[in-house]
C-alpha cells in the first residue's frame, strides 16, 4: 500500500469548549489551545482534530453551525485561529477541522431565509414536507429524542432534523447547496487546514419519498436508518466532493459513519476507489449496549470486542485503512468502561493505550485520555449540560415516570458529558482549566489526575502514550503489519501478532482484574520487550506466563 502521512500519524482530538480557557470566562477557547501546543508537541502527536469552532448558537456545542466561515465569538477571532494554525505548523503539527454538513443551525442565514416562504430561493437547501393530517410527514425519530420533524408555523410545513430541532438537515439533492459545501471546504483548505473529520457524513443522502420506518419500538417514533444511512446517492455525493475539492489538496479525511460495517469500511476507504481515507465506525463502542440501545448499558464480553476489532483489522488490511479510537467527545471515558477507574486506573489506562496503538490503523487520542481521565458521577441532573442527556432525562423521568436514580445511573455510564468535563491541567482550582467559573463542572478527581502531575512522573500514562507514539515512528510493522488474533475464545486475555517484512510483534493484554495464565503457541517466544505496565516483566516472551490484572506487554519477535 502507498505511504501516506496520515497512516503514520497519531491524531489528538481537542474539544475546544473543554480544553483550556485563555481569558477566564469559563469556556475553553482558541488562545487557550495555542498556549498548550508545547504540551502536545511533548506528547508527540502529529495531527490535531479540532471539534467545531465556527459560529454557533451552541444548541449542540458547535455541531449546529450558523456561519461556516467565521469563528465562534466565545472561542476568539479569525486572527486567533490563524495564529493557532501557524503555531501548530511551526511545530510540525497538522490541523484537521470538523466538517458538519449533514445539517446546519436553524440560525444559519440559509435557514432563516428558507423558512420565510415556500418560494424562497433557499427553501430547497433544507428538507420540507407537508404533514399527514396533524401528524409529521413520517414516523422517523430524532437521535436526540422525539420526532425527527418540526412544524414551522411561519411557512406551514415540517422540516427534517435527524438531530435537535435547531439542527435542520441540509438537502444534498440540491446542487447549489452542494456547491456551497464544496466552497466552504475550499475556503478552509486554502487557509491551510490539513483535512476534515466529517460529522455523520453517511447520513447525507435520504431515500426519495422518505418512507415510514418499520415499527420496531414501542414509541410513536422509529429508527429510520434504513432510509438515510449510506443512502442511495451517498457515494455519488462523496465522489463529487473528492473530484471538485479534495483531490486538489493533500488533505486527510475521516468520515464519522454510524452503523458502518467492515464491508462498508472496506469499500469506503479503498485506496483507489474509496471516498474517505478512513472512517469512525461504532460497532466496538456498542458492545456495552443492550437491546434498549445506548442508554441500556450491559456487561460486555471481551470475545465480542475481539470479534468486532478482528473483523475490521482483517477486512481492511491491504486495501483500506482503519481509524483506531476508544474515546471521543460523545463517548464515556475508556478507562471507566473497558478498564478500571479505581484501583487499576493507571495500569488499565496503559493497557488500553498499548492495545490500541499496536493495532493496524491511525490512532486517535481524545484530550485527557493520555492522563487516564475518568467518567464523572454528578449526582443531580442540574449539573449536566449535554442536550442529548437532558432530552433523554426529560423524556424518561418527566414523561415516562422513571426514577431519577435509575436514569442518572445510565447517564453516569454513557452520558456525553463524561468526556466533556474540563481538561485537568493542574491541582489548582478548577484543575487549572479556567480562572473563572467553568461552563461544566470539573471532575473532583483532578487533585489526583492532572497533566502537571503526569509530566513530573516518568512512569505516568502520559509518558506511556509518548513512548507508544514514538514506537510507531520507529517500527514500520506497527503501521503496515497484518493482524492475527490468538486465544480467540479467552474472555480475559486479548493477544494478537502483527507481521511485516519479516518482523513480527506480539501484544498481550489482560482486560480483567483476574490474574490469568497465558499459554501461547510454541512459535511465539523470545524476542525483545517493547512496552509493559508492570515492573518485573521478562525481557523475552515465554510461551507460558502469568498475566496480572490489566497487565499489558508487547514484544518485537
Interface with ligand TEU by CB under 6 A: which residues? 60, 63, 100, 143, 163, 199-200, 256, 258, 294, 329-330, 388
> What is each CA distance from 235 to 307, 318, 387, 441, 481, in whole angstroms?
28, 22, 31, 42, 29
Residues facing 499 on adjacent strands: 504
Nearest to ligand TEU of 100, 440 (CB atom): 100
528 three-class SS: strand
537 three-class SS: coil
Nearest to ligand TEU of 384, 464 (CB atom): 384
Nearest to ligand TEU of 59, 341 (CB atom): 59
Convert 100-128 to b/e letters by CB count within 10 Å (16 or more is b): bbbbbbbbbebbeebbeeeeeebbbbbbb
Q: Which does 385 bind (CB under 5 to 8 A by kind): ligand TEU, Ca ion, none?
A: none
Residues facing 500 on adjacent strands: 503
Nearest to ligand TEU of 317, 420 (CB atom): 420
Quick note: the x/- pattern for Ca ion over 4-43, rule CB under 5 A, is -----------------x-x-x-x-x--------------
Q: Which does 258 bind (CB under 5 to 8 A by kind): ligand TEU, Ca ion, none?
A: ligand TEU
115 three-class SS: coil
Provide the minimum distance between the beta carbon of 292 and ligand TEU in the complex, in angstroms, as a whole number: 13
Q: Which does 199 bind (CB under 5 to 8 A by kind): ligand TEU, Ca ion, none?
A: ligand TEU
Q: Which does 98 bind (CB under 5 to 8 A by kind): Ca ion, ligand TEU, none?
A: none
Q: Quick one: which of 408, 398, 336 has its CA closest to 372? A: 336
Residue 32's H or E segment, with its range, is helix 30-35
Nearest to ligand TEU of 400, 522 (CB atom): 400
Provide the minimum distance between the beta carbon of 22 and Ca ion in the complex, in angstroms, as a whole number: 6
249, with CB counted inside 10 A (0-12, 13-18, 19+), is: middle
Q: Which residue of the set 29, 64, 194, 199 is catalytic? A: 199
Q: Which does 419 bind (CB under 5 to 8 A by kind): ligand TEU, Ca ion, none?
A: none
Nearest to ligand TEU of 100, 442 (CB atom): 100
Nearest to Ca ion of 50, 495 (CB atom): 50
Provide the minimum distance between the beta carbon of 78 and ligand TEU in the complex, in angstroms, as a whole number: 23
Q: Which does 240 bind (CB under 5 to 8 A by kind): Ca ion, ligand TEU, none?
A: none
Task: Calculate helix-pair angle for 461-474, 345-357, nearest 10 degrees.
Answer: 10
Provide the minimum distance between the beta carbon of 199 and ligand TEU in the complex, in angstroms, as a whole number: 5
Q: Which does 180 bind (CB under 5 to 8 A by kind): ligand TEU, Ca ion, none?
A: none
Q: Which residue of the set 256, 283, 341, 386 is catalytic? A: 256
Under 8 Å between Cβ of 147 and 212:
no
Q: Quick one: which of 38, 55, 51, 35 has its CA closest to 108? A: 55
Query: How many Å apart are CA 159 and CA 108, to the nearest integer?
Result: 15
Provide the minimum distance between the beta carbon of 331 and ligand TEU in the complex, in angstroms, as a whole number: 8
Residues facing 13 on adjacent strands: 49, 366
Helices (H) and strands (E) in the chain, counts: 16, 22
Give just the sign of the alpha carbon dihedral 268, 269, 273, 276.
positive
Which residues lie closer than 8 Å to 244 by C-beta, 6 or more apart?
A: 182
Residues facing 493 on adjacent strands: 510
Q: Quick one: which of 177, 178, 175, 147 has its CA closest to 160? A: 147
Nearest to ligand TEU of 166, 350 (CB atom): 166
Query: How many Å apart are CA 514 and CA 340, to the nearest integer?
Result: 12
Query: How many Å apart are CA 2 and CA 320, to the nearest integer?
Result: 11
Query: How many Å apart are CA 226 and CA 9, to the nearest integer?
Result: 34
Q: Which does 306 bind (CB under 5 to 8 A by kind): ligand TEU, Ca ion, none?
A: none
Q: Which does 25 bind (CB under 5 to 8 A by kind): ligand TEU, Ca ion, none?
A: Ca ion
546 three-class SS: strand
- Does the active-site annotation cover 59? no
Provide the minimum distance between the beta carbon of 103 and ligand TEU in the complex, in angstroms, as a whole number: 7
Nearest to ligand TEU of 143, 463 (CB atom): 143
Query: How many Å apart are CA 325 and CA 24, to the nearest integer?
Result: 31
Provide the minimum distance between the beta carbon of 36 and Ca ion in the complex, in angstroms, as a whole number: 13
**Phi, psi torsion values for 13, nearest 5 degrees:** -95, 130
Provide the minimum distance between the beta carbon of 145 and ligand TEU in the complex, in angstroms, as a whole number: 10
Provide the minimum distance between the beta carbon of 163 and ligand TEU in the complex, in angstroms, as a whole number: 4
Q: Which does 294 bind (CB under 5 to 8 A by kind): Ca ion, ligand TEU, none?
A: ligand TEU
Provide the minimum distance between the beta carbon of 52 and ligand TEU in the complex, in angstroms, as a whole number: 9
**Closest residue to ligand TEU, Cβ-based?**
63
Q: Is residue 82 near Ca ion by the rule CB under 5 A?
A: no
> Binding-site residue total for Ca ion (CB under 5 A)?
5
Nearest to ligand TEU of 237, 555 (CB atom): 237
- Does the active-site annotation cover 8? no
> What is each CA distance from 405 to 227, 294, 304, 411, 441, in whole angstroms?
36, 17, 29, 10, 20
Residues facing 392 on adjacent strands: none
Positions that interact with Ca ion (CB under 5 A): 21, 23, 25, 27, 29
Which residues are tagged catalytic? Answer: 199, 256
Amino acid at each position: 500500500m502507498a505511504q501516506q502521512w496520515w497512516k503514520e500519524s497519531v491524531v489528538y482530538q481537542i474539544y475546544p469548549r473543554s480544553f483550556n480557557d485563555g481569558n477566564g470566562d469559563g469556556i475553553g477557547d482558541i488562545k487557550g489551545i495555542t498556549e498548550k501546543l508545547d504540551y502536545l508537541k511533548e506528547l508527540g502527536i502529529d495531527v490535531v482534530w479540532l471539534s467545531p469552532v465556527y459560529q454557533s448558537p451552541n444548541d449542540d456545542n458547535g455541531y449546529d453551525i450558523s456561519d461556516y466561515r467565521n469563528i465562534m465569538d466565545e472561542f476568539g477571532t479569525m486572527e486567533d485561529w490563524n495564529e493557532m494554525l501557524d503555531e501548530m505548523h511551526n511545530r510540525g503539527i497538522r490541523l484537521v477541522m470538523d466538517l458538519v454538513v449533514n445539517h446546519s443551525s436553524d440560525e444559519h442565514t440559509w435557514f432563516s431565509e428558507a423558512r420565510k416562504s415556500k418560494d424562497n430561493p433557499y427553501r430547497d437547501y433544507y428538507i420540507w414536507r407537508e404533514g399527514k393530517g396533524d401528524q409529521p410527514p413520517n414516523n422517523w425519530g430524532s437521535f436526540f429524542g422525539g420526532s425527527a420533524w418540526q412544524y414551522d408555523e411561519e411557512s406551514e410545513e415540517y422540516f427534517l432534523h435527524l438531530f435537535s430541532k435547531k439542527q435542520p438537515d441540509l438537502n444534498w439533492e440540491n446542487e447549489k447547496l452542494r456547491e456551497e459545501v464544496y466552497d466552504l471546504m475550499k475556503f478552509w483548505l486554502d487557509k491551510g487546514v490539513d483535512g476534515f473529520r466529517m460529522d455523520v457524513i453517511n447520513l447525507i443522502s435520504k431515500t426519495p419519498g422518505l418512507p415510514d420506518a418499520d415499527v420496531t419500538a414501542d414509541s410513536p417514533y422509529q429508527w429510520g436508518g434504513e432510509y438515510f444511512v449510506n443512502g442511495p446517492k451517498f457515494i455519488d455525493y462523496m465522489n463529487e466532493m473528492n473530484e471538485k475539492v479534495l483531490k486538489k489538496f493533500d488533505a486527510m479525511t475521516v468520515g464519522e459513519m454510524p452503523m458502518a460495517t467492515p464491508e462498508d469500511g472496506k469499500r469506503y476507504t479503498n485506496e483507489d476507489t474509496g471516498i474517505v481515507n478512513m472512517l469512525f465506525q461504532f460497532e466496538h463502542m456498542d458492545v456495552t449496549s443492550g437491546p434498549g440501545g445506548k442508554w441500556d448499558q450491559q456487561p460486555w464480553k471481551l470475545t465480542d470486542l475481539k470479534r468486532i476489532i478482528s473483523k475490521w483489522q482483517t477486512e481492511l488490511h491491504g486495501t483500506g485503512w482503519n481509524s483506531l479510537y476508544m474515546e471521543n467527545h460523545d463517548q464515556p471515558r475508556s478507562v471507566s468502561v473497558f478498564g478500571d477507574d479505581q484501583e487499576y486506573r493507571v495500569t488499565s489506562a496503559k493497557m488500553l493505550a498499548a492495545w490500541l496503538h499496536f493495532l493496524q490503523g491511525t490512532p486517535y487520542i481524545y484530550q485527557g485520555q493520555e492522563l487516564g481521565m475518568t467518567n464523572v458521577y454528578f449526582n443531580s441532573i442540574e449539573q449536566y449540560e449535554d442536550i442529548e442527556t437532558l432530552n433523554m432525562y426529560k423524556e424518561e423521568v418527566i414523561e415516562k415516570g422513571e426514577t431519577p436514580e435509575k436514569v442518572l445511573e445510565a447517564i453516569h455510564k454513557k452520558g456525553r458529558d463524561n468526556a466533556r468535563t474540563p481538561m485537568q491541567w493542574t491541582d489548582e482550582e478548577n484543575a487549572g482549566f479556567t480562572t473563572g467559573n467553568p461552563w461544566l463542572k470539573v471532575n473532583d478527581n483532578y487533585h489526583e489526575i492532572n497533566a502537571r502531575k503526569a509530566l513530573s512522573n516518568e512512569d505516568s500514562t502520559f509518558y506511556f502514550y509518548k513512548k507508544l507514539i514514538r514506537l510507531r515512528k520507529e517500527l514500520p510493522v506497527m503501521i503496515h503489519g497484518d493482524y492475527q488474533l490468538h486465544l480467540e475464545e479467552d474472555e480475559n486475555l486479548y493477544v494478537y501478532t502483527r507481521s511485516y517484512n519479516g518482523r513480527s510483534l506480539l501484544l498481550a493484554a489482560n482486560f480483567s482484574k483476574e490474574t490469568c495464565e497465558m499459554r501461547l503457541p510454541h512459535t511465539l517466544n523470545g524476542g525483545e520487550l517493547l512496552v509493559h505496565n508492570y515492573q518485573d516483566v521478562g525481557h523475552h516472551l515465554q510461551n507460558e506466563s502469568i498475566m496480572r490484572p490489566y497487565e499489558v506487554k508487547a514484544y518485537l519477535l
